[in-house]
Amino acid sequence: MKKDVRLRFSLIALSAALALFYLIPNTPLYDYMPQTYKNTVTRGITLGLDLQGGLHLVFEVEGNRAVEITAERRAPAIKKLLEGKKLSADVKAEGATIVITPASDEIRRAVEADYKEFELKNSSGRLVYALSSKEIKWIKDNAVDQALETIRNRVDAFGVAEPVIQRQGENEIVVQLPGIKDPKRAIELIGKTAQLEFKLVDDESPLAAELPGSVKPEEEAEMLKKFEGRIPEDDVIFFERTVNKNSDEVFKRPFLLKKQSLLTGDLLSEAGVSIDNRFNEPYVSIKFNPEGARLFEEVTGKYVKRRMAIILDNSLYSAPVIQEKISGGSAQITGTFTMNEARDLSIVLRAGSLPAPVKMLQNITVGPSLGRDSITAGSRAALLALLLVSGFMIFYYRFSGVIAVSALVLNILLLLGAIAALKATLTLPGIAGVVLAIGMAVDTNVLMFERIREELRAGKTARAAVDSGYDKAFYTIVDSHVTTLITAAVLFQFGTGPIKGFAVTLSLGVTINLFTSLIGTKSIFDFLNSRKEVKELSI
């Protein structure tokens, strides 16, 4: 008996020591620990975004747009192929399909020989090709992977400690950025498609001369309506946004552009922020890769003295006049940028564009002050719960209550240690789980003590009462724990991040409770009983 008790005490001491071992990083003691320890235990309890402050974003990659973009890119390539074979045809992308007129067998053979991923949907009068469902699936899937990679590069460049960027389900991306200070800027940086395009300004069309010099933002729609139907088929109107420095008034200057892009941002190799010496304004300098540089030289040579518009995500930044042929592949994007805007723009240009636009499905932003408030409130609640429950237990069960409370303290220590050791995340609902676990932990002891009281009333000796009390209460205790574990498991399965944290602490708390009360408190009773025959139990 005595040996057995000693063994159990060592087990308790060992587990408590282990818990402390993992919790040291949460205490000031960590600074004094040897390096070998710091290498093994790098952190104590990990706090969730709701306690630490930060961003939790869910984006959906618009896979259908990725498919349309693929069709848009293939259309000119098919036209080139047909031209090479001396076949004159009109090739256009319409949504996710490619439409070719006229519908001749020769064209059909030529297209189908080279573009096996397309399926013919209609051949009366014109040829309508759509991507095969296998190809569509691949494009959508690939778009998500690519977007994930691009977002990761952007976040890395932005500089966030320990970001989480994960794919979720078929077409969603989860981004978690702990401790971020400027959430709005981060959201814009991540969500930007960053499709950079260079388009030629069409000043040869008679319409170009009719466009007003500038309009107010609210007049934009009205102006577009006025010219509706008169815009040439290959053209499109874009607005340049300008701000009057003195009055802060915003103006929009319309430009008539050729729809077809001369160059796109995927040919970039570098992007960085520079400062304009004359106006002391930041701008973004870009450099093309060799292929881009060659193309850039070609188009600038071809369109000297004409304007070239620089467009990012369908908004026009500037439309400078090409003064001369530019070799070397360097260019500048100017606009009225703040330093941060210029920096973010260079980040997204460097990281590359997203393969398709992304849509934000969810944004949970928790400010650092709320996180701190929550930690304070949570700790205060835990402390109060501990006081109330301990006070009641000692009042009601006297010395046995003291034993139960020491088991409770051990319980909390082990629970926190387990959270740290298992690298689980402590969330605000998780703290609620700890607080509830305080109340539930003593339940086990209550069930035993009540049973022991009953045995005592039936006239048993203290030792016999303790033994049979523990034995008889055992199954009740296990049953009552299992039901709580079932719901905790379900919450873990279906819950969102913070709720998962609740499920983890609650189930850990309940499991550890079995250990502390069945081994812990029982050992103390056994120990007391083993020293001398206890006549009366303080219970």
Q: For residues 357-376, which are near another protein according to CB under 8 A?
A: 359-367, 369-370, 373-374
Q: Interacting stretch for another protein, rule CB under 8 A, among 254-262, 286-294, 295-303, 356-364? A: 356-364
302-331: which residues touch another protein (CB under 8 A)?
A: none
Minimum CB separation of residue 35 from another protein in Å reads 38
Site string for another protein, 133-162 (x = CB under 8 A): ------------------------------
Minimum CB separation of residue 437 from another protein in Å reads 8
DSSP E strands, 347-390: 358-366
Which is closer to another protein, CB of 6 or CB of 398?
Answer: 398
| Residue 8 CA: distances (Å) to CA of 159, 445, 474, 516 | 50, 18, 18, 11
Which is closer to another protein, CB of 184 or CB of 423?
Answer: 184
| Residue 443 CA: distances (Å) to CA of 291, 399, 413, 513 | 73, 17, 18, 9
- The whole-angstrom separation of Cα 508 and Cα 247 is 62
Size of the site for another protein (CB under 8 A): 73
Asked if residue 487 binds another protein (CB under 8 A), the reply is: yes
Asked if residue 428 binds another protein (CB under 8 A), the reply is: yes
Minimum CB separation of residue 343 from another protein in Å reads 21
Which is closer to another protein, CB of 55 or CB of 293?
Answer: 55
What is the residue-wise DSSP string for 378-415? HHHHHHHHHHHHHHHHHHHHHHHHHHHHHHHHHHHHHH
Residues in the chain: 539
Q: Are 275 and 292 a contacting pair, CB within 8 Å?
A: no
Q: Interacting stretch for another protein, rule CB under 8 A, among 61-69, 111-119, 321-329, 441-449? A: 441-449
**Beta carbons within 8 Å of 128's beta carbon, 6+ residues apart:** 97, 98, 99, 100, 120, 121, 122
Which of 123, 128, 124 minimizes the C-alpha distance to 96? Answer: 128
Which is closer to another protein, CB of 50 or CB of 197?
Answer: 50
Asked if residue 504 binds another protein (CB under 8 A), the reply is: no
Asked if residue 489 binds another protein (CB under 8 A), the reply is: yes
The stretches of 159-265 forming alpha helices (DSSP H) are: 183-191, 206-210, 220-226
Asked if residue 120 binds another protein (CB under 8 A), the reply is: no
What are the backbone dihedrals phi and psi of residue 180, each rounded to the nearest 5 degrees, phi first?
-85, 145
Asked if residue 462 binds another protein (CB under 8 A), the reply is: no
Using CB under 8 A, which of 5, 147, 414, 506 touches another protein?
506
Which is closer to another protein, CB of 50 or CB of 202?
Answer: 50
Minimum CB separation of residue 144 from another protein in Å reads 16
Minimum CB separation of residue 385 from another protein in Å reads 4
Q: Which two tokens stand for residue 307?
A: 């304007």
Using CB under 8 A, which of 11, 157, 446, 514 touches another protein?
446
Which is closer to another protein, CB of 165 or CB of 448?
Answer: 448
Using CB under 8 A, which of 493, 531, 533, 535 touches another protein?
493
Q: Interacting stretch for another protein, rule CB under 8 A, among 155-163, 271-279, 411-419, 471-479? A: 471-479
170-199: which residues touch another protein (CB under 8 A)?
A: 183-184, 187
219-258: which residues touch another protein (CB under 8 A)?
A: none
H, E, C per residue of 20-65: HHHHHHHCHHHHHCCHHHHHHCCCCCEECHHHHCEEEEEEEECHHH
What are the backbone dihedrals phi and psi of residue 130, each rounded to the nearest 5 degrees, phi first?
-125, 150
What are the backbone dihedrals phi and psi of residue 534, each rounded to the nearest 5 degrees, phi first?
-80, 125
Minimum CB separation of residue 482 from another protein in Å reads 6
Which is closer to another protein, CB of 15 or CB of 411?
Answer: 411
Which H or E run contains 120?
Answer: strand 118-122
Residue 375 CA from chain centroid, whole number: 23
50-109: which residues touch another protein (CB under 8 A)?
A: 50, 58, 60
Minimum CB separation of residue 140 from another protein in Å reads 16
Using CB under 8 A, which of 37, 454, 463, 528 touches another protein?
454
Which H or E run contains 492?
Answer: helix 462-494
380-409: which residues touch another protein (CB under 8 A)?
A: 380-382, 384-385, 388-389, 392-393, 395-398
Which is closer to another protein, CB of 256 or CB of 435?
Answer: 435
Which H or E run contains 281?
Answer: strand 281-288
Which is closer to another protein, CB of 331 or CB of 432?
Answer: 432
Strand order in 330-333's β-sheet? 268-276, 281-288, 330-333
Q: Are 99 and 112 a contacting pair, CB within 8 Å?
A: no
- The whole-angstrom separation of Cα 219 and Cα 212 is 11
Using CB under 8 A, which of 200, 309, 319, 432 touches another protein?
432
Asked if residue 214 binds another protein (CB under 8 A), the reply is: no
Minimum CB separation of residue 12 from another protein in Å reads 22
- The whole-angstrom separation of Cα 427 and Cα 48 is 5
Which is closer to another protein, CB of 289 or CB of 461?
Answer: 461
Q: Interacting stretch for another protein, rule CB under 8 A, among 68-76, 143-151, 439-447, 511-519? A: 439-447
| Rg, Å, the chain Cα set | 35
Omega prior to 102 cis, within 30 of 0? yes
